[in-house]
């Protein structure tokens, strides 16, 4: 009997391998993006047409390839990333199998342009179904651009298997989002047809999350951090009440590689236990860093599964990281504002601790200690700090506490304060590691926003009685809107009654706000409608935001010493002092080292 075993021709072997690596446009985009990341790109641009079915292209400004490497990169098992099996245990790159480009080239019409930084000319390669049709020098940008046309053109069965454009596009954007989350330091653009779906600048993780998922995420993120000798977990979790009924916003990365793990997902869900409604899934973006020698990524061709040496230890750390974040950020109902707050509780509550920690970082320990010693006395002295910040009694306690904390530098005499207003727009304050510059308008909006939200959540705010109640006329639509929200508006501190068909008599405005009744009320409704048209906000959030915007201190307003101090203490008693309700920065710290750098020779 003759021998019957034959080596498969490369083109067929590649097609078979492709079946594992490239299942759809999304997988090709993922592989190309990973290569760009591995090549050290700072900017990565993804272009797709018809959800990637007719064209998908990834352009990077990474290292590029020499002419020989460009040609080699298309061979199966050709990789620059590992040399020996041992290298698998120190793996830091996304790729290592050397299969992706060979696979994609086997099932598409591919064009590659690539140039090394120090070369004048780059290389152009045109490949069709593994066959190199053209190879020539070309003038091109530094880095690599790979375009893939008509994926699976030569395997009709597979091509027919692709789903509708929206479905394929969703898959592609999912891959894009994962990589963009894993690498916030890289700029990414995603263009579908002629439209930029995403245009992401290098940023911090929190900013990247907001850029990808929307500003509403700003409010709901709590940072997570836990470290042991084995692993480090960092990232953000979403508030339990923002959990969604659908899955899809749960992201787990191991050494910056997106992975799926039911086991670790369970660890997160376990930490949320009791806080979630049935069948809802919290948002999370968690990064696990672990020495590559303790994991095996070589279990699945798409590399989204991973094996840990000690899975249970990883589980425990992930769970504990999430639990801590939930506790430290007062996301658990046991310690929320609804509890009957007395001062001791407040001081011991984790919410207060978070602020303390924040402030400890910024202002140093000694102040904190002196603050703790003095809080009682301070509270006894508790006169409202200013009319503008005439908050409820509970708020007052917190405010004073933080005020005392913020106001003194080590060694500084009581009562002496180093903060001043700049250009009637900013408040400048010296802090431990530099100069803190605060946007007065944004900061006050944040303070008021949180105050109003608390009121709307069941702690009605006080009202300032008007000496001369004012009538305000509305058009019928606005009047109907006001009546729909009557209860909420009153909770904010407005007092009014219906006075005629579509008019109101306003006899009180929220305590601590300034301005005429009419102006404030009309402003609130105007702003509410504007927000409603532009942003899909829940009613309370919209109301709180609108009033914060209208009632807050504006740029150009002169602030007295007391107002400045009250603004600072109010801000740092906030849940999210860093951002305005709209997500803009409220303050930044001009670092001492930066100042020093101006003077060094
Ligand atoms: P792997 O990423 O597993 O090594 P690939 O088939 O994806 O395998 O790529 C093969 C090789 O081609 C890589 O190891 C790398 O050297 C080179 N390469 C691929 N894409 C790029 C790129 N965008 N920039 C620079 N080099 C690249
Ligand atoms: Mg690769």
pLDDT for position 406: 42
Helix (H, G, I), strand (E, B) or coil at 389: coil
- Angle among Cα 213, 541, 490 to the nearest 5 degrees reads 175
> Atom 12 of ligand 1 has which residue's CA nearest to it?
73
Å from CA of 64 to ligand 2 middle: 13
pLDDT 10s digits, 120-177:
999 999 999 999 999 999 999 999 999 999 999 998 888 988 999 999 999 999 999 9
Is the CB of 144 inside a 6 Å radius of any atom of ligand 1?
A: yes
> Atom 27 of ligand 1 has which residue's CA nearest to it?
35
Is the CB of 181 inside a 6 Å radius of any atom of ligand 1?
A: no
pLDDT for position 389: 33
Is the CB of 33 inside a 6 Å radius of any atom of ligand 1?
A: no
Residues less than 5 Å from ion ligand 2, measured at CB: 35, 95, 100
pLDDT for position 270: 87
pLDDT 10s digits, 19-50:
677 889 999 999 999 999 999 999 999 999 99
pLDDT for position 299: 63
**How far apart, in whole angstroms, are the C-alpha atoms of residue 545 and residue 535?**
12
Residue 402 CB partners (closer than 8 Å, separation 6+):
355, 359, 569, 570, 572, 573
Which atom, in ligand 1's list, is nearest to the CA of 93? 2
Mutate which of 29, 34, 38 for ligand 1? The one with the most ligand atoms within 8 Å of its CB, which is 38
Is the CB of 98 inside a 6 Å radius of any atom of ligand 1?
A: yes
Q: In what order do the strands lie in the sheet with 195-200?
A: 131-138, 122-128, 109-115, 143-149, 55-60, 43-49, 187-192, 195-200
Low-confidence ranges of the chain (pLDDT < 70): 16-19, 88, 298-303, 328-417, 601
Over 501-536, what HEC string results? CCEEEEEEEECCCCCCHHHHHHHHHHHHHHHHHHCC
pLDDT for position 342: 31
Model pTM?
Answer: 0.58
Is the CB of 60 inside a 6 Å radius of any atom of ligand 1?
A: yes
pLDDT for position 330: 58
Å from CA of 286 to ligand 1 middle: 27
In angstroms, the first-to-last Cα distance of the chain is 85
Is the CB of 63 inside a 6 Å radius of any atom of ligand 1?
A: yes
pLDDT for position 590: 83
Do residues 205 and 251 touch, judged by C-beta distance below 8 A? no
pLDDT for position 211: 94
Å from CA of 73 to ligand 2 middle: 9
Å from CA of 139 to ligand 2 middle: 24
């Amino acid at each position: 009997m003759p021998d019957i075993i034959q080596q498969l021709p490369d083109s067929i072997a590649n097609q078979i391998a492709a079946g594992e690596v490239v299942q759809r446009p999304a997988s090709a985009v993922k592989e190309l993006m990973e290569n760009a990341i591995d090549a050290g790109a700072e900017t990565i641009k993804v272009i797709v047409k018809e959800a990637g079915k007719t064209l998908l292209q990834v352009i990077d400004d990474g290292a590029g390839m020499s002419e020989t490497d460009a040609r080699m990169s298309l061979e199966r098992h050709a990789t620059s990333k590992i040399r020996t099996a041992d290298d698998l245990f120190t793996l830091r790159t996304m790729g290592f199998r050397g299969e992706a480009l060979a696979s994609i080239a086997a099932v598409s019409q591919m064009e590659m342009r690539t140039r090394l930084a120090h070369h004048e000319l780059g290389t152009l390669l045109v490949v069709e179904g593994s066959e190199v049709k053209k190879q020539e020098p070309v003038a091109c940008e530094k880095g690599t651009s790979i375009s893939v046309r008509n994926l699976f053109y030569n395997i009709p069965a597979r091509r027919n298997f692709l789903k509708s454009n929206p479905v394929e596009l969703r898959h592609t954007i999912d891959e894009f989002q994962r990589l963009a989350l894993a690498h916030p330091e890289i700029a990414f653009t995603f263009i579908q047809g002629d439209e930029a779906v995403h245009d992401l600048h290098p940023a911090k993780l929190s900013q990247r999350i907001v850029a990808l998922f929307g500003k509403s995420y700003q409010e709901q993120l709590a940072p997570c951090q836990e470290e042991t000798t084995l692993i480090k977990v960092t990232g953000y979790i979403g508030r339990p009440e923002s959990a969604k009924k659908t899955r899809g916003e749960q992201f787990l990365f191991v050494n910056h590689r997106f992975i799926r793990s039911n086991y670790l997902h369970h660890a997160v869900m376990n930490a949320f236990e009791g806080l979630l409604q049935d069948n809802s899934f919290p948002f999370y973006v968690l990064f696990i860093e672990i020495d590559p020698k303790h994991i095996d990524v070589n279990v699945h061709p798409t590399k989204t599964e991973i094996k840990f040496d000690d899975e249970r230890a990883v589980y425990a750390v992930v769970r504990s990281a999430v639990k801590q974040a939930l506790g430290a950020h007062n996301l658990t109902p046991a310690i929320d504002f609804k509890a009957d707050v007395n001062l001791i509780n407040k001081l011991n509550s984790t919410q207060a601790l978070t602020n303390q920690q924040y402030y400890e970082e910024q202002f140093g320990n000694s102040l904190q200690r002196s603050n703790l010693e003095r809080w009682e006395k301070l509270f006894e002295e508790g006169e409202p700090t200013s009319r503008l910040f005439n908050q409820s009694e509970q708020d007052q306690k917190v405010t004073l506490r933080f005020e005392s904390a913020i106001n003194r530098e080590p060694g500084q005499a009581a009562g002496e304060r180093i903060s001043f207003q700049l250009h009637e727009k900013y408040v400048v304050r010296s802090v431990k590691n530099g100069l803190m510059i605060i946007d007065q308008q944004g900061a006050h909006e944040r303070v008021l926003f949180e105050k109003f939200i608390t009121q709307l959540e069941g702690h009605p705010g006080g009202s300032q009685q008007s000496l001369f109640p004012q009538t305000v006329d509305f058009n019928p639509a606005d009047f109907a809107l006001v009546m729909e929200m009557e209860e909420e508006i009153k909770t904010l501190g407005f007092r009014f009654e219906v006075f005629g068909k579509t008019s109101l008599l306003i006899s009180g405005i929220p305590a601590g706000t300034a301005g005429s009744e009419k102006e404030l009320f009309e402003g609130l409704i105007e702003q509410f409608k504007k927000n409603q048209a532009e942003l899909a906000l829940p009613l309370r959030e919209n109301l709180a935001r609108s009033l914060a915007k209208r009632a807050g201190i504006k740029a150009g307003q002169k602030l007295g010493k007391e107002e400045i101090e009250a603004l600072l203490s109010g801000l740092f008693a906030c849940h999210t002092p860093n951002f305005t309700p709209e997500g803009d920065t409220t303050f930044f710290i001009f670092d001492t080292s930066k100042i020093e750098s101006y003077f060094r020779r």
